[in-house]
Amino acid sequence: MEKTWRWFGPNDKITLDMLRQIGVEGIVTALHHIPNGEIWSFEEVNKMKDFIEGHGLRWSVVESLPVSESIKYGGEDRDMLIENYKESLRNLGKAGVKTICYNFMPVLDWARTDLENPNPDGTSNLYFNRGEFAYFDIHILKRRGAEKEWDEETLKRVESLKKEMTPEKENRLIENIIIKTQGFVSGNFSEEDLDPVGKFSNLLKLYAGIDKDRLRENMKYFLEAIMPVCEEYGINMCVHPDDPPMPVFGLPRIVTCDEDIDWFLNAVPNRHNGLTFCAGSLSAGAHNDVVALAKKYAGRTHFVHARICRVLPNGDFKESSHLDRRLIEIISTFEKENPDLPMRVDHAPLMLGDEKMGYNAGYSFHGRMLALGMVSGIMSALKYQSNLK
Ligand code: DNO
């Protein structure tokens, strides 16, 4: 697979020159300065492309061309927003940038409660604590009816958390769930928000009455509308699975499991409608056999996120090592079935001073560099082995 790296643009502290030194071949990025819903002009797309190429690299994948909330919940302006989306796709297609990652998660993109969960070796990782997440839902967001949606064991954890909660700890949860994980990936939130919880609750209201079937219909509507442009320019759309792969805050989620993936691929049976195989997101649900999913969907995958999670018996999950056996099997599947795919490592640990650098959550330098070294080693060993046969 092509070794790519998510880079956040010219202001990223990790520069393209640094990336060339560590074996990166292609760049994954977006026009982060353009607000959601606005057109990415041909000029802006080309400016980014030239900048990347000027550093001896290529722009392999867009992550993300964001789908506005209104397209997801089916608001009055959705057709206008879809037209804008199509125009951005045309401009990307003309410039030759043809792999587009997006997601169809309402309001909240990915979710974690702890961004620096310590490992025994002194590094730290992202962590999802189900009890703390439920605490946020019930006692911070104060969502009506939330208690009824959590299981008994989790509610017990919430009760004991109540005893030890402090305003500082509550603020950290708000920061982790709304600001730090969302701020850099979704146009909905930023570090400047004065009342992130209020804003969050208001966004949830937009989805009143939108259940799984409605959200599916809206995704189908969106995909059907953009497919002709994808056909014309040879663009591959690849939806990112929901992270974590389960409904959150009463919001439906529709890219969580085998049945969901099967549904959206068949609802719009066009090879340009495909998947970002994020092994990490899918493995965060104990219901998913992520190795089997890779085998089943390799042919409709356009982009791979190499990382993997371990789910604990209480429903918490944590990022696991990039040398996890399941990830080796998944890499082996893609190397065999679809070896030209772009692949990036993801959510690596913070290590060797990363924690002081203020990188976006999950996007350390040393941790990702080590992960890329591991995944590159796996790929080389697999190639060597298959040449021996
Ligand atoms: C988190 C990322 C996601 C992903 C988007 C794609 O680290 O994997 O935010 O980029 O969901 O639209």
- Choose the residue to mutate in 243, 278, 346 for probing ligand 1, maximizing ligand atoms within 8 Å of C-beta: 243
Whether residue 331 contacts residue 382, with contact meaning beta carbons closer than 8 Å, is answered with yes
Helix (H) or strand (E) holding 274: strand 273-278
- Which residues, 6 or more positions from 223, have their beta carbon under 8 angstroms from its beta carbon? 237, 264, 267, 268, 270, 273
pLDDT of 251 reads 96
How many whole angstroms separate alpha carbon 303 and alpha carbon 71? 23
Q: Is 345 in the pocket of ligand 1 (CB under 6 A)?
A: no
Q: Is 110 in the pocket of ligand 1 (CB under 6 A)?
A: yes
Task: For residue 388, report the distance from its CA to the centre of ligand 1, in Å.
Answer: 37
Please give the structure tokens belonging to residue 16: 């393209």
pLDDT of 184 reads 87
Residue (of 8, 10, 11, 58) closest to 29 by Cα position? 8
- Helical axes 290-297 vs 325-337, angle rounded to 10°: 0
- CA nearest ligand 1 atom 11, residue: 103
- Which residues, 6 or more positions from 288, have their beta carbon under 8 angstroms from its beta carbon? 245, 257, 258, 282
Whether residue 305 contacts residue 346, with contact meaning beta carbons closer than 8 Å, is answered with yes
Q: Is 319 in the pocket of ligand 1 (CB under 6 A)?
A: no
pLDDT of 163 reads 96
pLDDT of 186 reads 81
Q: Is 186 in the pocket of ligand 1 (CB under 6 A)?
A: no
- Choose the residue to mutate in 72, 109, 128 for probing ligand 1, maximizing ligand atoms within 8 Å of C-beta: 109
Low-confidence ranges of the chain (pLDDT < 70): 388-389
Q: Is 70 in the pocket of ligand 1 (CB under 6 A)?
A: no
pLDDT of 188 reads 83
Q: Is 252 in the pocket of ligand 1 (CB under 6 A)?
A: no
pLDDT of 187 reads 80
pLDDT of 388 reads 64
How many whole angstroms separate alpha carbon 220 and alpha carbon 216? 6
- Choose the residue to mutate in 63, 115, 181, 309 for probing ligand 1, maximizing ligand atoms within 8 Å of C-beta: 63
pLDDT of 193 reads 84
pTM above 0.95, yes or no: yes
- CA nearest ligand 1 atom 2, residue: 110
Helix (H) or strand (E) holding 90: helix 78-95
Q: Is 112 in the pocket of ligand 1 (CB under 6 A)?
A: no
How many whole angstroms separate alpha carbon 185 and alpha carbon 169? 24
Distances (CA, A) of 87 to 7, 30, 59, 234, 366: 24, 15, 19, 14, 37
| Residues forming the active site | 240, 278, 305, 346-347, 363
Q: Write a three-state SS string for 101-126.
A: EEECCCCCCCCCCEEEEECCCCCEEE
3-state DSSP assignment of residue 130: helix
pLDDT of 389 reads 60
